[in-house]
Amino acid sequence: MHQYQTSSAPSASTTEAHDADLHAHNLTDWQQEYDQLSGGHFYGRIDEIALDGLQIFREHTSQALRQQCNVWPDAIWLGIAAQPADCRINGLDVGGQQIMCRPGACDFELVTPDNFDIYGLVIRTDALLSAAENEELDLRGLSLHEHPRLNIPEETMAQVRRLLANLVNPDTPGLHQRLQRHLILSTLLDLLKQETPARRPATSYAHRKAVVDKVKAWMEINQDAPVSMTELCELTHVSRRTLQYSFESILGISPLKFLRTARLNQVRRALSHPENHGRPVSSIAADWGFWHPGQFGQDYKKLFGEMPSETVSRGELIF
């Protein structure tokens, strides 16, 4: 990991990482856990501006990810893809003219593709309400808490993307913090003035998500148990076809790939944890159901672009 302050703006910083979950911990004051889904070496970068009660950042991730996220309490987060991309929030597709929105201290899940860039805006709720009052904007009735996706006019979206790109670009001349704060607040209010809720998901969405959530909960308490499609169908009381469709529509991957990649990511975390230093790799892998060292090593390298022994020898701690 590399972290440094930009010389032009005291409130701006850039962090880089070559491990997805380490990268997840680099965003100031967020609680996050990232699972890598696509194969190859990972690279992540965050360009961030942190002010009093305000945060703006651009995040780049080179591989497809499943992200468990939770922003700081008493705040509102808006997420804007830098370009239209196949992204999901809580299993819902995010359109090219939609932004994502979640309140603080609220768990949510993102599934993002390879080479993904996203802008994030976080503001303390009281600061947002104060700014809206100054602009005589009534925020009552806005859809910030109820809807994870908001529709934004195309022209407004393009203007906001350009402004955010300039604000977080390390090569942009430094701006006075009061000016930065004004620009960020103005950007937020411009978005909220024109937002409309996205269309409600199909009635089958709740059932499909419940199927996926049940498998996730099962995995947490059966981390080393062998698994098959037949067993998952019996667990969720659905057909093989429904199980497959539920995972592909909510997470974009099959149920067996989800379980395999989730467990491989857990092994990677364990290999990097100080308390496991000195434990055999085979023993840690077995904790997560990988009983055949040769096959485990192949699967691990295919996903992360390196052998488990390389992860251990690098000693790049995630915790």
Say which CATH number the domain at 180 has.
Answer: 2.60.120.10
Instruction: Render pLDDT for 1-35 as a digit per residue (tens, 0 to 9).
Output: 444 343 334 478 999 999 999 999 999 999 999 99
Do 21 and 83 have their domain in common?
yes
Helices (H), the chain: 20-24, 125-134, 154-168, 177-194, 204-221, 229-236, 240-250, 255-272, 281-287, 293-304, 308-314
Task: Find out whether 50 and 71 touch, Cβ atoms under 8 Å.
Answer: no
Q: Rounded to the nearest 5°, which phi and psi values hold at 103?
A: -75, 165
Domain boundary among 197, 215, 245: 197
Domain boundary among 197, 229, 251: 197
DSSP string, 273-288: SGGGTTS-HHHHHHHT
Q: Which domain holds residue 169?
A: 2-197
State the total domains in the chain. 2
Query: Considering the domain boundaries, does residue 319 fall inside one?
Result: no
Do 162 and 307 have their domain in common?
no
Instruction: Render pLDDT for 24-65 as a digit per residue (tens, 0 to 9).
Output: 999 999 999 999 999 999 999 999 988 888 899 999 999 999
Instruction: Render pLDDT for 192-245 as a digit per residue (tens, 0 to 9).
Output: 877 777 878 888 999 999 999 999 999 999 999 988 999 999 999 999 999 999
Do 209 and 177 have their domain in common?
no
Give me the mean pLDDT over the 79-103 stretch.
Answer: 93
Domain boundary among 141, 172, 197: 197
Say which CATH number the domain at 271 has.
Answer: 1.10.10.60
